[in-house]
Chain A
Amino acid sequence: MDTWLLPILIFLPLLGAGAIILLPTRDSYVVALWTTLIALAIGVGALAGFDWSDAGAFQGELSVPWVPALGLELSLGVDSVALLLILLTLLLGPICVAASRTAITERMKTYFAWLLVLQAAMTGVFAARDLAFFYICFEFTLIPMYVLISLYGSSNRRYAATKFFLYTFTGSIIALAGLIYVVYVNATSSYGSGEWTFDIATLQSTAVQMNPNQQGWVLLAMLLGFAVKVPLFPVHTWLPLAHTEAPTAGSVILAGVLLKLGTYGIYRFCLGFTPGAIHEYAGVIAILSIIGILYAGLICWVQQDVKKLIAYSSVSHLGFCILGLVALNTIGVAGSVLYMINHGLSTGALFLLIGMMYERYHTRDMEQIGGLARKMPVWSTFMVFFVLASVGLPGLNGFVSEFMCLIGAFQSDAIDQRAALGTTPGRLGPWYAAIAASGMIVAAMYLLIMVGKVVWGREREPRDHHSHAVLPDDLCAREIAVLAPLAILCIALGLFPTPILKAVEAPVNDTVEWVWTQSGNADALARNPENTVEVAKAEGDK
């Protein structure tokens, strides 16, 4: 993979944003659309240029010194996991722009410029190989999102945006302290590299040698930052509000990519830097995520507001994602990575659909609206489709990843049973999976109830409803074009998950092996090679 690809992907949206500011307002949409489309094309090119035989290695690496006194470098590079997440970001880019065509009528320049800046920052997070650069991008996503929510959101938007900003900022400041501590240990301890550097690879090899106490504190600090973003129970309270108040594209990006920054952070740093501690506390994190799955699921059940329902369902779904991560075995972690992408596709699409409905009816209240299947057949078809994908219908994408996460949790301590060696690779077990699986039933209930009311049910429209001046009753071609790629990907990833699983197999394997060896379970791994990867086998199980 060429080294210029990643910087281009970061700077292109920034250039686009600059162009939007300079050009007249009527061009904003076109410039934004073309910028994101070109970025997507380059992203696909990167996919082709990526050396898949060595997917676990970081490719396209580039490193430029920045602030030497602080050891800062602009250093980039991706493995297949990061690359796929970047592609998700790039894919959602034009979709969000196109979805905002009619919804945003005022202050378009500001809107599209910030949208592009946001895309640059998110790409930077996934591409960063320098901790400080990662953190800077991670934090910088806050500003565009804050602006998008508080300028273009619904009635309570300022409060929601502020709450979102404060929650995430507080969490990440603590995470920063934890990460700097690792940098400090690397610079001063006898086992560190002895120099002040933010290079992730160097830090990783140092961090794992910290004693359990240190690792525990660092993990806690990092989790405070990442868990807010995911969000994990009990720090999820900002999310429903932010989602509900955000404009459609904001919600899509929030659900599609921003939440993944948290899970990606846990995957990259909690597993990478503190394998011993994550192994130790996997159970606690899993319990929190299971509480999140069930609690948020039950909240969804009583929601009137469709968008809020989907927002809470994100909390519930991301619980599965974390559960798979802390299962600490290949199938769980691979499932979790896959889940990050699948959730971005299906939940992103659901937010788009609700946005389209809102644009026509100006309400999201299930009591006021119903029986849309008759009025908007195309919309209803997509709605049912994406709800089923989200529920986890076999054959669609949600099922594969959710199932893998649960299997991962189920088998987490499997070596113990099979080999009776006394050491366990993971801390979870069948009970975790069993309780979490009940969350799938809850998910089916609340989502299907919602579909039942809104799509079928008695035909209802808000009393003061008039036909939309610009939009037809049912979806227009642009809206279908926005939804279609997502639908195709949902089917593709549902029926043929093998290519993508193969793609993430190498880095996931490396990560799991890393956690096992570094947390003192090297011997367990050596004794049971069967457990290393069997992604393909999981397919067979299905």
Chain B
Amino acid sequence: MSERLAYLSPEIILFIGTCLVMVLGVSPRVELRKLCAFVAGISLFLAGVTGAGLGDMPTSPFPALVPYAKGMVGLVGVLILLLLSGTVDRELESRVAAGKEKFDALKANRAEFYAFFLFSMTGLMLCASADDLIWLFLALELTSLPTYVMVTISTRGTKSQEAGVKYFFLGALGAAVFLYGFALLYMGTGSTNLTVIREVLLTQADHEGINLIALAGLALSLIGLSFKIAAVPMHAYVADVYQGAAASVSAMLAFVPKAAGFLAIILLLGTVGWHYGVADTSGHALGEGHSLPESLRIILWVMAVLTMTVGNVLALLQNSVKRILAYSSIAHSGYMLVGIIAGPRGADFTSNGLAAAMFDLLSYGLMNLGAFAVVACLERNGEECDSIDDLRGLCKTHPWLGWTMVICALSLLGFPMTLGFFAKVPLFTSAIAAGEITLVVILGLNSAIAAFYYLRLAAPPLLDESAGEAAERTPYVDRVMAGVLSAAFAIGLVFIAGFVMDRAERAVAPSVFADADTHAAADDASDHP
């Protein structure tokens, strides 16, 4: 038990940070209240570093997923936090600071906002180390529940309340569906422990075939989780919610639930496929029947194709930057699903679809954040500017923001020399390695469709002259920093892509091979004394 606790140290750090933030936030002293974001940042950073430094968690079905995911959450989390600054509290705080109003802890929501954010990140980290269905469910809900509140209070307008309600009800529906799926999975296998479920399903597959109820449970879980990752069939809320919430919160919505959903999908599907797919560590041979069950593969395939296509085609019709990014978020889920379908075929990164999806998740988190940051940084009369027209001439009027948009849009498009390209190529290669040629062609065509609307994001800042009343830059420099840092990562990570790819590849190596890995490592060590 204590050993398990050690693997939860990042979450514990985050929880302590959360408590501190909540206490600080109701302090009547403004200096202490202002510390909220800082404390949140420190605890996220510490949690991320601790998480990345964790060893492989032996009880998890994917032992090395834990450090990779927690490191990734820490990195992107800090950037999201920078972006969140000033989202909820600027009006009240400025009036209190000016002495126009007395501080009232009941009215202020800075503390709740940051605390909810930290709770959500805690949930996300917990997802990565889940080894049990109940744990997984709780972690997923811990990730999502705070976001419902965050969406609602993110702006003072009615739109975000509408968005919050939509998000909450559909989220509840999604949660109900995958919880039902989990229950069926338990019914079909008799356990909630993922490792035990895997063994049971393996035995079933070898004898009478996989229990249909368990299979139905997995299928329902996938459908339910499609809410989290913003994929068809539960994608309908995305555009409205992202548009209704403040851009900084939308940036978070595009990454945090998606990451949780994909981690959950990998853990769940790991019980029924793949791990028998990689026959040995030297990367040879896949026998028959070693991939996902055909029925699940078909569900995923249809989901992936519809998600990519719906996301990209609907994005073509939008004029709001937030809505474009919302549909691009849907489309990217489709791309990542391609990696999930491909699965970890071979021993190296290029044919490992799961690793490709994990790498894409990280790079998507970064470049998407940059694009949203630009929207979050532009305002006119205190309102966000999220029309494409507001991007015109940005490279001249606000060079940092303009170039961030150009780089991030090109990276989202997957243009060569940007991180997005290096994230997309492995998806291609792994799908080809899995023999999914049709899927690759659809992926390619979708990337081409996407070029149109990403150009609409990348071109106006660079090429147009600003027209009409120019948008102003937000007074919050943190947000600009978040955007610029994301763009810097979208270029800079290319140079250490090899290292991150290695991590991603290790992250998705299932525990059944942990022994083999140790042997291989021991062999290596003996080779090089």
Residues of A within 8 A of B (CB): 67-71, 132, 135-137, 139-140, 143, 146-147, 150-151, 158, 162, 165-166, 169-170, 173-174, 176-177, 180-181, 183-184, 187-188, 196
CB under 8 Å from chain A, chain B span 424-439: 425-426, 428-429, 432-433, 437
Interface residues on B, range: 35 or more
Interface string of B474-497 (1 = CB under 8 A from A): 000000000000000000001001
Given A139-B416, A183-B429, do A70 and B350 touch, yes or no (CB 8 Å)?
yes
Label chain A's interface by main secondary structure: helix
Q: A150-B463, A174-B444, A180-B428 are known contacts. Are A67 and B433 too (CB-CB below 8 A)? A: no
Of the A-B pairs whose beta carbons lie under 8 Å apart in the complex, a sample of 20, sorted by A's number, is A67-B494, A69-B350, A69-B502, A69-B505, A70-B429, A70-B501, A71-B350, A140-B416, A147-B462, A150-B459, A158-B463, A166-B455, A170-B448, A174-B441, A176-B425, A177-B428, A181-B432, A184-B351, A184-B433, A196-B429
**What 20 additional pairs, Cβ within 8 angstroms, besides A140-B416, A184-B350?**
A67-B422, A69-B350, A69-B497, A135-B416, A136-B416, A139-B416, A143-B410, A146-B459, A147-B463, A158-B459, A162-B452, A166-B455, A169-B448, A169-B451, A170-B445, A170-B451, A173-B445, A173-B448, A177-B441, A181-B432
Q: A143-B415, A177-B441 are in contact. Are A136 and B421 (CB under 8 A)?
A: yes
A114 to B3, CA, bound (A): 57
Chain A residue nearest to B350 in the complex (CB): A196
Contact B433 A188 (CB under 8 A): yes
**CB <8 Å contact, A140 and B497:** no
A174 to B440, CA, bound (A): 9
Q: Is the CB of A184 within 8 A of B459?
A: no
A180 to B429, CA, bound (A): 6
A173/B501 contact (C-beta < 8 A), A70-B425, A162-B455, A184-B433 known: no
Q: Is the CB of A180 within 8 A of B459?
A: no
Chain B binding surface, main DSSP class? helix
B contact residues around A169 at 8 Å (CB): 448, 451
Residues in B neighbouring A71, C-beta threshold 8 A: 350
Residues of A within 8 A of B459 (CB): 146, 150, 158, 162
Q: How many angstroms from the CA of A132 to the CA of B425 in the assembled complex?
A: 10
With A67-B497, A69-B497, A139-B416 already in contact, the answer to whether A173 and B349 are too (CB < 8 A) is no
* Residue in A137, A165, A177 whose beta carbon sits within 8 Å of that of B455 in the complex: A165
Q: How far is the CB of B495 from chain A (nearest CB, A)?
A: 9
Q: For the complex, what is the distance from the CA of A166 to the CA of B413, rounded to whole Å?
A: 12
Nearest residue in B to A172 (C-beta to C-beta)? B448
Question: B444 touching A173 by the CB < 8 A rule?
Answer: yes
Assess whether B432 is in contact with A184, with CB atoms less than 8 Å apart. yes
Q: B residues within 8 A CB of A69? A: 348-350, 497-498, 501-502, 505
Which A residues lie within 8 Å of B445 (CB)? Answer: 170, 173-174
Q: Which of A136, A170, A173 contacts B417 (CB 8 A)?
A: A136
Alpha-carbon distance between A143 and B459 when the two chains are bound, in angstroms:
10
Report the Cα distance A442→B498, complex, angstroms. Answer: 55
Assuming the contacts A67-B422, A162-B455, asked whether A176 and B498 have C-beta atoms less than 8 A apart, the reply is no
Residues of A within 8 A of B193 (CB): none
Q: Which of B496-513 contact A (CB under 8 A)?
A: 497-498, 501-502, 505
B122 CB–A CB distance under 8 Å: no
A68: nearest chain-B partner, CB-CB? B498
Asked whether A196 lies within 8 Å of B421 as measured between CB atoms, the reply is no
Q: Which residue of B is nearest A194, CB measured?
A: B283
Chain A positions within 8 Å of B437 at CB level: 181
Task: Name which residue of chain B comes closest to A140, CB basis.
Answer: B416
Residue of B nearest to A66 (CB): B498
Distance between B97 CB and nearest chain A CB, rounded to angstroms: 41
Chain A residues with CB under 8 A of B448 = 166, 169-170, 173-174
CB of B447 within 8 Å of the partner chain: yes
Contact with A along B341-380 (1 / 0, CB 8 A): 0000010111100000000000000000000000000000
Q: In the complex, what distance in Å separates the CA atom of A143 from the CA atom of B428?
A: 23
Q: Which residue of A lies closest to B440 (CB)?
A: A177
Interface residues of B in 392-432 (CB under 8 A from A): 410, 415-417, 421-422, 425-426, 428-429, 432
For A132, the chain B residues whose CB sits under 8 A away are 425
Contacts of B410 in A (CB 8 A): 143
Contacting pair B415 A139 (CB below 8 A): yes
Q: Give bound CA distance, A158 to B452, whole Å.
A: 12
CA distance A135 to B428 in the complex (A): 14
- Which residue of chain A has the shortest Cβ distance to B504 in the bound complex? A69
Q: Chain B residues near A177 (CB, 8 Å)?
A: 428, 432, 440-441, 444
Interchain residue pairs A-B with the least CB separation, the first 7: A170-B448, A69-B501, A136-B416, A173-B444, A69-B349, A139-B416, A69-B498
Q: A140-B417, A174-B441, A176-B428 are in contact. Are A187 and B451 (CB under 8 A)?
A: no
The residue in chain B whose Cβ has the minimal distance to the Cβ of A69 is: B501
Chain A residues within an 8 Å CB radius of B505? 69
A69→B426 CA distance, assembly (Å): 10
Task: From A69, A147, A151, name the one whose CB has the most chain B CB atoms within 10 angstroms.
Answer: A69
A residues in contact with B351, CB < 8 Å: 184, 187-188, 196
B422-A70 in contact (CB<8A): yes
B498 touches A67 (CB 8 A): yes
| A187 close to B498 (CB less than 8 A) | no
Provide the residues of chain B in CB contact with A139, threshold 8 Å. Answer: 415-416
Residues of A near B422 (CB, < 8 A) are 67, 70
From known contacts A162-B455, A177-B428, infer whether A187 and B416 are also in contact, taking CB-CB under 8 Å. Answer: no
Which residue on chain A has the smallest CB distance to residue B429? Answer: A180
Residues of chain A contacted by B451 (CB below 8 angstroms): 165-166, 169-170
**Distance A151 CA – B459 CA, assembled complex (angstroms):** 10
A147 to B460, CA, bound (A): 11
A143–B421 alpha-carbon span in the complex (Å): 15
Which residue of chain A lies nearest to B433 when distances are taken between CB atoms in the complex? A184
Digit string of B69-93 for contact with A (CB within 8 Å is 1, else 0)?
0000000000000000000000000
**Roughly how many angstroms separate A392 CA and B276 CA in the complex, as a whole number?**
65
Which of chain A's residues have a CB closer than 8 A to the CB of B494?
67
| Complex Cα spacing A140 to B497, Å | 19
CB-CB under 8 A from A183, the residues of chain B are 429
A210 to chain B, nearest CB (A): 13
How far is A137 from B451 in the complex, measured between Cα atoms in Å?
17
Please name all residues of chain A whose beta carbon is closer than 8 Å to the beta carbon of B348 when the two chains form the complex.
69, 187, 196
Verify B426–A70 contact, CB threshold 8 A.
yes
Chain B residue contacts of A188, Cβ below 8 A: 346, 351, 433
| Bound form: Cα–Cα A188–B351 in Å | 10
Chain B 231-257 against A: per-residue CB contact (8 Å), 1 yes, 0 no?
000000000000000000000000000
Residue from B410, B429, B502 having most chain A Cβ neighbours under 10 A: B429
Nearest-neighbour CB distance to chain B for A180, whole angstroms, equals 5
Please tell me if the beta carbons of B349 and A70 are within 8 angstroms of each other in the complex.
yes
Q: How far is the CA of A174 from the CA of B350 in the complex (A)?
A: 18
- Can you list, as one digit per residue, whether each of B278-292 has a CB less than 8 Å from chain A (1) or not (0)? 000000000000000
Assembled-state Cα–Cα distance A143/B416 (Å) = 10
Nearest chain A CB to B77 CB, angstrom units: 25
B244 to chain A, nearest CB (A): 30
Contacts of A180 in B (CB 8 A): 425, 428-429, 432
Residues of chain B lying within 8 A (CB to CB) of residue A187: 348, 350-351
Closest to A138 in B: B416
Docked CA distance A290–B497 (Å): 46
* A170 proximity list for chain B (CB < 8 A): 445, 448, 451
Alpha-carbon distance A180/B440, docked complex (angstroms)? 10
In the assembled complex, the CB of B414 is this many whole angstroms from the nearest CB of chain A, namely: 9
Q: Which residues of A contact B463 (CB under 8 A)?
A: 147, 150-151, 158
Complex CA distance for A187 and B351, rounded to whole angstroms? 10
